[in-house]
Amino acid sequence: MVAGAGPLENSAQQDYERRLIQRIQDGERDAFYELIRPYERRVYAAGLAILHNEADADDCAQEAFLKALKNIRQFRAEARFSTWLTQIAVNEALMRRRKERANLVEPIEKDGNGEGNYTPRDFADWREIPSEALERKEIREKLAEALRSLGQIYREVFVLRDMDQLSIEETAKALDISIAAVKTRLLRARLMLRDLLAPGLGGAWSSNLSFAKGTKPW
């Protein structure tokens, strides 16, 4: 779905998706690529957030698409297709991580309550980078680098909630954690990213727009 699209555009997109899904469920499998094309980057980003490896994330995305196609008849219109697809990718990534990296534990996750501690440099609200800055390749690269430096639990929540635009409830369900944990980890992820990015952006964090709205670098 296009970032910043209004209600009419969103409704038209959802109607178009429903027609595509029906065609695929009726056997027109060639339409599947058209259905998933808007979500390829998001699915890859979800896998990368969990697996922290580009090759693994690419494999995970491809497997998620194959599983989505195989199980397309199970999709029900009461859910958003993007949410359903992202949850398939998250489940695939978590399964791969359990199999391949069962013995790896990031230091930030060894805190007694599993949440770690983080004190921001100040208590200013999270601010969005101006939209024109987000269009620059170097900004996207800085964000990707900053994301890689976050602990696993924070990176996962940030990607699913702020990049893939899952709701708080959907993010909690995908990661099998509580809603309170999602809110706590998301706040800390945003604060850490702000502190990591703001110095290198020359004070560009001056917009008063909400981070959940507007143009994103993904």
Q: Is residue 160 part of a domain?
A: yes
Query: Is 91 inside any structural domain?
Result: yes
User: Considering the domain boundaries, does residue 185 fall inside one?
Assistant: yes
* pLDDT tens for each residue of 76-93: 877 788 888 988 998 899
Check whether residue 69 and residue 153 sit in a common domain.
no
Nearest Cα residue to 202 out of 114, 159, 139: 139
Given this model, what pLDDT does residue 208 score? 34
Cα separation, 90 vs 160, whole angstroms: 9
pLDDT at 133: 46
Sign of CA dihedral 211, 40, 180, 191: negative
Last residue of a domain, which of 48, 81, 100?
100
- 120, 191 contact by CB (below 8 A): yes
On whether residue 218 sits in a domain, the answer given is no
Please state the separation of Cα 73 from the chain's center in Å: 25
Neighbouring CB atoms inside 10 A of 169's CB total 10
pLDDT tens digits for range 198-207: 765 544 443 3
Question: Nearest-CA neighbor of 164 among 36, 38, 14, 42?
Answer: 42
Q: How far apart, in whole angstroms, are the C-alpha atoms of residue 143 and residue 179?
A: 25
Q: Domain limits at 154? A: 108-201
Per residue in 36-61, pLDDT (tens digit) is 999 998 899 888 888 888 899 999 99
CA 138 to CA 85: how far, in whole Å? 29
Chain position carrying tokens 């997109």: 13
51/69 same-domain check: yes
Co-location of 192 and 165 in the same domain: yes
116-162 pLDDT, tens per residue?
Answer: 555 555 444 444 444 444 455 666 677 778 888 888 889 889 888 88
Residue 41 inside a domain? The answer is yes
Q: Is residue 206 one of the residues assigned to a domain?
A: no
Q: Is the dihedral of CA 79, 216, 13, 62 positive or negative?
A: negative
Same domain, 13 and 96: yes
Q: What is the mean pLDDT of the chain?
A: 75
Of 49, 73, 100, the residue that ends a domain is 100
The total domain count for the chain is: 2
Give the pLDDT score at 148. 80
DSSP class of 160: I
Q: Are residue 118 and residue 41 in the same domain, yes or no?
A: no
The CATH number covering residue 182 comes to 1.10.10.10
Domain membership flag for residue 189: yes
Answer yes or no: do 185 and 117 share one domain: yes
Q: Which residues are within 8 A (CB) of 65 and not within 5 positions of it... i.e. 6 or more apart?
A: 32, 36, 43
Per-residue model confidence as pLDDT tens digits over 163-198: 877 889 988 888 889 999 999 999 999 888 888 877
Q: Which of the 8 DSSP states describes residue 113? A: T
Q: Is residue 213 part of a domain?
A: no
Same domain flag for 140 and 119: yes
Same domain, 77 and 50: yes
CA distance 179 to 206: 30
- The candidate with the shortest Cα–Cα distance to 108, out of 100, 116, 118, is 116
